[in-house]
Structure 1
Amino acid sequence: MTSSSSQTAESQEINLDDFETQHRSGPWLNRFIFTLSVLLAVAHIYINTIATLPELWVSAFHFAGFGSLCALLIPANPNWRNSKLAMYFDGAIVLSLVIMVFYIIFFEDALYERGVTFNTSDWVVSCVTVLIALELIRRTSGWFIPLLIVIALSYVVLWGQWLGGMFTFPGLSLETLMYRSFFSTDGMFGSISRISWSFVFMFILFGAFLVKSGAGDFIIDLSRSLASKMIGGPGFVAVLGSGLMGSVSGSSVANTVSTGVITIPLMKKAGFPARFSAGIEAAASTGGQLMPPVMGAGAFIMASYTQVSYVTIIGVAAIPALLYFLSVGFFVRVEAKRSKVIATEEDNDIVISEVLKSGWHHAIPLTVLVTLLVQGFTPTYAAGISVLAVIAASLLSKTHRMGPVEILDAMAQGAKNMSTTAVLLVGIGLVVNVISTTGVGNTFSILISDWAGGSLFFTLLLVAIASLILGMGLPVTASYIVLGTLSAPAIFNLIAESQLLEMMSNGSLPEAASAVFMLVDPASLASLAQGMPMEEAAALLAQVPSDFKGMLIDQSLGAQSVAMILVTAHMIIFWLSQDSNVTPPVCLTAFAAAAIAKTPPMLTGVTAWKLAKGLYIVPLLMAYTPLIGGDTETLLRLTFFGIFGLYALVAAMEGYLEDKLSIFLRAMMLAASIMMLWPALALWIQVIGLILFLYVFVIGHKSYSLKS
């Protein structure tokens, strides 16, 4: 493969600017980092396609490689970037990580020959590795996660036995804890690490290749050409562009920075208020992590937790993501009407036929990816072939043909993008290990259920509050992992039991499941066959021993429904985990957008929080309706009324639709929204809500609007 002849000699040189360290300058160090990045990418491609190595070895190598890269890229302190002491310290970290890998490979068997009894070298290597993980996470994510890890580890060996009540834990020896944390596949080199070096890395690499091939520019130009003629066109460019970019990049902050530098100035120039422009970009970029096929790392972790295929998860995630982006788009349209936004000259100059003619080949890799996934190939294999498809498709481009230099540059950039994520996921495995070892997850789920009084709504409210608090210190992926481990069982049980109660009340309980109630109340079998009032069904279900409830749910709902309920529980938590991106006081996505728009960060965060209301509405629909895993007819109905219900809600919140709305009309829109979105209401009530919305949209504002 050769580069385009139109490229200059300067463009053929390796771009090392992206790899210039914050520690100190020097071409030798930049080239070393670049070489290390490329080698890590090549090694991971080999591991994910050809090699058959023990997972513990691969996870250790994964952490050592990206941990070394992270140590060289991110300073321990910004003021030490030119310090020789910092250089020696980072060199010691790199050397220690290399030693750690060889130690696991060559001395793991000796540990088992001693009956899993630690000697001095076991203690030194394991403890130093954990300390390095804490330091690297501190550099990339601040103090919160290291403190969380320390609290979790000390709970196991020290203060858990001093607690009273449900969270009392008798404790484990430090030796047992370090073994489970370091040598076993339950700790930092466990399932979360495996997801990191397989699915997550391959898709981050795929995203890096797409960006290098010019797909990012194509997405922005395509969005501008599609949205330029719409009311509020520049705002829709942000929604479309950020959604498409986010579906590949999987990082809301990176999405904001990469697309916001184009979309925010466009929105401001067209007449949108600066703070609104930043808020739209933040809300849309946050939604990028909800958009298939990548969904950040969440889709892969969800697949691992639920044992449901990755293809199924991205399939059921599509409609909720569509509803979210439409809700953001409705805010754009309403504000465009209010601010009298006009299309910019630059957008009018972009012709969709020209954009497609010059960039249609960028669709080839995504088509290959989706086709392979649908055909049943593993995500890692599909991502690997799709990377090759990016290279092949780039040969059809006149400006972004990928030759050897560009391929190496993309591999290095992908490795750099992965470094902080890899360190974080490996480190958070220590917390997950503590949760599973101590049973805190089940205890926390029981506690949530008790606090919520068995109410699904209040359970979701508590999880939302917990996600916001955790999100102040944890990145979205880590927040989802912790919350998913802690609270998914509680949400799953409540949704499953609500469906079970509905079957008991309408007499559709299978005969095999009815037999379970003979242990509780044999006289109830006749009532179950005919159907019983919901209150009686709830009282009867409460008498079933907890050990039998799982079996009862499986027999009543079936394996497919149970799997979808589990996916629903995790999808709800994953969505709620996104709210920290746009919710003050810590909302990094909104802060990044504010920096571009030059608006007050906290006020921008408040605006973004308002514009991202779909993060709360759509999970409620997931919990109370079969929006995840429902049949085609049900999904079409939910989507149809959901779209109009969200639009009505936006109009009620903003007090504006096609014109300014009176208080009476705002109340009508709020009522219409509730009628269409409230899951327990009948179809005829939803139809009435739709009629109310259409009345205000078509007729009402002309007669009753308060003219400004």
Structure 2
Amino acid sequence: MSSPNTSADSHIDQDVNLEEFETQHRNTPLINRVVFGFSIFLAIAHIYINTLGTLPELWVSAFHFAGFGTLCALLIPAHPSLRNSKIAFAIDSLIVLLLIATVFYIALFEDALYERGVVFSTGDWIFSSIAIILSLELIRRTTGWFIPSLILVALSYVVLWGQWISGAFSFPGLSLETLLYRSFFSTDGMFGSISRISWSFVFMFILFGAFLVKSGAGEFIITLSRSLASKMIGGPGFVAVLGSGLMGSVSGSSVANTVSTGVITIPLMRRAGFPARFAAGIEAAASTGGQLMPPVMGAGAFIMASYTQVSYVTIIGVAAIPALLYFLSVAFFVRVEAKRSNVTSTDDDGVSIKDVLKEGWHHAIPLAVLVTLLIQGFTPTYAAGISILSVIAASWLSKQHRMGPLAILDAMAQGAKNMSTTAVLLVGIGLVVNVISTTGVGNTFSLLITDWAGGSLLWTIILVAIASLVLGMGLPVTASYIVLGTLSAPAIFNLIAESQLVDQIASGQLPEAASAIFMLVDPSVLGTLTQGMPIEQAQALVSQVPADFKSMLMDQALGAESVAMILVTAHMIIFWLSQDSNVTPPVCLTAFAAAAIAKTPPMRTGVTAWKLAKGLYIIPLMMAYTPLIGGEPLELLKLTIFGIFGLYALVAAMEGYLEDKLNILTRIVTLAASGAMLWPHLPIAVNAIGLVVFLIIFVITNRSYNAKSAN
């Protein structure tokens, strides 16, 4: 067991806790067997629920919370000083009994509550309060005090201090009985949509990842990355980028990526000649991209699909190109540093790509099955379940990792343990989401952000980025995205949609069906809508449309599909910005984990990782101002090509080095070339000029580098 922590990523917490637990309890086989057996039971129960079960969702959510809450109680002590003591055993036993009681209470007494007209009995008061208290305690054990404090502030706002404050956030208040009902018995609180996503999509994909790892896929990914990149200049750095990208598609966890791949890649980079802090920073920056890489993306893709009502397949489809751009931006730093530090190619262990693929090609079968089923329209939970079976079947094509009954049970147990803190966290965050939706704070916050930003999309994104950094110091990435997505996605959505609407009006391309709405605003402009007008006049016209009609106007003017993609864009921007706490001081757990492996100063390593992860800020801006999300194929091709070279030019300008050192003038020209390729809405001729200028600088510096090497 381990002490409570403040990790910014929930997935690795379970792995660390489990490892310490098993180390410290090698002489207590009974506890180990109980944890192992109960984990298997939870895995089997959730597989049944997600495939054959037809139980009410409220009951399933309560069981999900109680089951994984029990696992957390067994794995993580109430306090380090109580470890292995009789007091700890008594406390944990009481928690487990109360968790079991909450499940039975909902199942047995929910109908009686409605028969009384939703009037609380003594039991309702007791068990709804107990459930919230248990949620707070379990989250405190796994993440520290920040999230429980946030939940308490949110709950007390509804029943107490919301009515004491004035201004936009004043709230008349609800009774405690109403709050407890909405938190415990309704499908809006701790057993609401976030919990449903947790016990369905998130669990099944974490279990899928556990089976992949058990089948040897993790080892295959690292070996394949080494064979692909070892002969390139700066090869070990590219191994880190490629390995973390591929591993991220399986685990969706940045800290887990850092720990699992960093123990191999960081020593490789250091031996090749990369500075230790740079090696740690590259691993942290690359591993952060794990949650951006389809198909898993942590829990973000599932929650995004739930919020936007856009299919999971569409979400991971539009996420692919931005993720590619991010990993390439990190790889460009590797290339530049390799040239500057004179890191040459290495033959590594001499394993050829052909041999690696011959031995491990079967690991691609489960991913191919998963993608195929999703494209065919099967639900993500069904696709994940069949893909798990395909992992077992494919493992028998291997000589070393054939999964028999014991390996299957072990993978089930590991998947359940990996899910434990994520489950209790998502259930608890449901309480905050319930408060936001009940009180209307989300709409108020969005309006305030728009007001503070003066209607500027850029300043709105900057404010959201700052908020995500502050929240990320205490919230795991997924929780930070849930809170910020609920609060600020409407603001970003409205600004992007209004910007596109203004462009449409200014260019005279507004559909005739949408023109009728302007009868309510200024009938005199109807004749000019098809002729176009200055941007300022179009902006003034849109600003006069009543709020109740704006949604209808956007649907008619932009089309339902475009509006849906704009909503996905808003959420994707927030999801990306939510990752920055992984690599941004003062609290950047991914960078700290890499620093521990590299034995470098944690804070300085965090600064390095923050610089290397600049794609986390540049690419969301591309999403906001270009059709990078959901654009037409030719648009996406153009954006991808110029985006790749634009990011490379930006990295060179930041580092003052391309193939060779850049002087001040060349550095400025390189920065200008980057702007010409990345700046939105520029003519393609300007993009092309920027690309040509950058390629010329690349060729010149390459010749200079080769001349120096020859001498």
Q: C-alpha separation between the residues in 2 aligned to 1:62 and 1:122?
A: 20
Q: Is the 1:665–1:700 Cα contact (8 Å) retained in structure 2?
A: no
| 1:246-295 deviation line (CA, Å, top 9, x unaligned) | 11101111111011001101000111110000000000100011000010
Report the alpha carbon displacement of residue 25 of structure 1 after superposing the two structures with TM. Answer: 5.3
CA change 1:704–1:506 in 2 (3 A) is farther
What code does the residue aligned with 1:471 have? G
What code does the residue aligned with 2:541 have? L
For 1:100-119, what aligned pairs fall within 5 Å after superposition? Answer: 100-119=102-121
| 1:95-139 deviation line (CA, Å, top 9, x unaligned) | 000011000000111111111111111111111111110011011
| 1:179-237 deviation line (CA, Å, top 9, x unaligned) | 00000000000000000000000000000000000000000000000001111100000
Q: Which runs of 4+ in 1 moved over 3 A?
A: 16-19, 21-25, 700-708
| Match in the other structure for 2:656 | 655
| Match in the other structure for 1:628 | 629
Q: C-alpha separation between the residues in 1 aligned to 2:611 and 2:218?
A: 28
Q: Is the 2:135–2:428 Cα contact (8 Å) retained in structure 1?
A: yes
CA change 1:664–1:509 in 2 (3 A) is same
CA change 1:706–1:466 in 2 (3 A) is farther
| Match in the other structure for 2:518 | 517
Q: C-alpha separation between the residues in 2 aligned to 1:164 and 1:680?
A: 43
Q: Is the 1:33–1:72 Cα contact (8 Å) retained in structure 2?
A: yes
Report the alpha carbon displacement of residue 20 of structure 1 after superposing the two structures with TM. Answer: 2.4
Q: C-alpha separation between the residues in 1 aligned to 2:210 and 2:138?
A: 23
| 1:153-191 deviation line (CA, Å, top 9, x unaligned) | 000000000111110000000000000000000000000
| Match in the other structure for 2:674 | 673
For 1:31-50, what aligned pairs fall within 5 Å after superposition? Answer: 31-50=33-52
| Match in the other structure for 1:213 | 215
RMSD (Å) for aligned C-alpha atoms: 1.5
- 1:492 is aligned to 2:490: no
What code does the residue aligned with 1:483 have? L
| Match in the other structure for 2:575 | 574
- 1:266 is aligned to 2:250: no
| Match in the other structure for 1:536 | 537
Report the alpha carbon displacement of residue 349 of structure 1 after superposing the two structures with TM. Answer: 1.2
Report the alpha carbon displacement of residue 542 of structure 1 after superposing the two structures with TM. Answer: 1.1
3-state secondary structure, aligned to 2:530: helix
CA change 1:18–1:598 in 2 (3 A) is closer
Q: C-alpha separation between the residues in 2 aligned to 1:393 and 1:221?
A: 18
Aligned length: 692
| Match in the other structure for 2:5 | none
- 1:278 is aligned to 2:256: no
| Match in the other structure for 1:407 | 408
Q: C-alpha separation between the residues in 2 aligned to 1:307 and 1:201?
A: 20
Structure 1 stretches lacking a partner, 5+ long? 1-15
Report the alpha carbon displacement of residue 658 of structure 1 after superposing the two structures with TM. Answer: 0.6
| Match in the other structure for 2:189 | 187
Q: Is the 1:160–1:169 Cα contact (8 Å) retained in structure 2?
A: yes
Q: Is the 2:231–2:346 Cα contact (8 Å) retained in structure 1?
A: no
| Match in the other structure for 2:506 | 505
| Match in the other structure for 2:388 | 387
Structure 2 residue corresponding to 1:135, chosen from 134, 137, 162? 137
Structure 1 residue corresponding to 2:241, chosen from 230, 239, 264? 239
| Match in the other structure for 2:122 | 120
Q: C-alpha separation between the residues in 2 aligned to 1:344 and 1:111?
A: 70
Report the alpha carbon displacement of residue 374 of structure 1 after superposing the two structures with TM. Answer: 0.6
Structure 2 residue corresponding to 1:73, chosen from 72, 75, 79? 75
Structure 2 residue corresponding to 1:57, chosen from 45, 56, 59? 59
TM-score (norm 1): 0.96
Q: Is the 2:251–2:298 Cα contact (8 Å) retained in structure 1?
A: yes
| Match in the other structure for 1:364 | 365
Q: C-alpha separation between the residues in 2 aligned to 1:444 and 1:235?
A: 42
Report the alpha carbon displacement of residue 17 of structure 1 after superposing the two structures with TM. Answer: 6.5
For 1:559-708, what aligned pairs fall within 5 Å after superposition? Answer: 559-699=560-700, 702=703
Q: Is the 1:22–1:78 Cα contact (8 Å) retained in structure 2?
A: no
Report the alpha carbon displacement of residue 22 of structure 1 after superposing the two structures with TM. Answer: 6.0
Q: C-alpha separation between the residues in 2 aligned to 1:17 and 1:486?
A: 37
Structure 2 stretches lacking a partner, 5+ long? 1-17
For 1:146-165, what aligned pairs fall within 5 Å after superposition? Answer: 146-165=148-167
Q: Is the 1:188–1:427 Cα contact (8 Å) retained in structure 2?
A: yes
Report the alpha carbon displacement of residue 699 of structure 1 after superposing the two structures with TM. Answer: 2.1
| Match in the other structure for 1:9 | none
Q: Is the 1:19–1:33 Cα contact (8 Å) retained in structure 2?
A: no
3-state secondary structure, aligned to 2:529: helix
CA change 1:531–1:704 in 2 (3 A) is farther
What code does the residue aligned with 1:570 have? H
Report the alpha carbon displacement of residue 307 of structure 1 after superposing the two structures with TM. Answer: 0.3
What code does the residue aligned with 1:697 have? F
Percent identical among aligned pairs is 80
Q: C-alpha separation between the residues in 1 aligned to 2:23 and 2:681?
A: 56
Q: Is the 1:21–1:74 Cα contact (8 Å) retained in structure 2?
A: no
Q: C-alpha separation between the residues in 2 aligned to 1:26 and 1:169?
A: 52
| 1:507-565 deviation line (CA, Å, top 9, x unaligned) | 11011111111111111111111001101011111111111111111110011000000
Report the alpha carbon displacement of residue 55 of structure 1 after superposing the two structures with TM. Answer: 0.3
Q: C-alpha separation between the residues in 2 aligned to 1:319 and 1:675?
A: 20
| Match in the other structure for 1:467 | 468
Report the alpha carbon displacement of residue 342 of structure 1 after superposing the two structures with TM. Answer: 2.8
Q: C-alpha separation between the residues in 2 aligned to 1:161 and 1:586?
A: 34
| Match in the other structure for 1:548 | 549
CA change 1:435–1:382 in 2 (3 A) is same
Q: Is the 1:659–1:707 Cα contact (8 Å) retained in structure 2?
A: no
Q: C-alpha separation between the residues in 2 aligned to 1:185 and 1:413?
A: 29
Q: C-alpha separation between the residues in 2 aligned to 1:303 and 1:316?
A: 12
CA change 1:183–1:672 in 2 (3 A) is same
| Match in the other structure for 2:375 | 374
Q: C-alpha separation between the residues in 2 aligned to 1:539 and 1:580?
A: 38
Structure 2 residue corresponding to 1:331, chosen from 327, 330, 333? 333
Q: Is the 1:23–1:81 Cα contact (8 Å) retained in structure 2?
A: no
| Match in the other structure for 1:145 | 147
TM-score (norm 2): 0.96
Q: Is the 1:247–1:288 Cα contact (8 Å) retained in structure 2?
A: yes
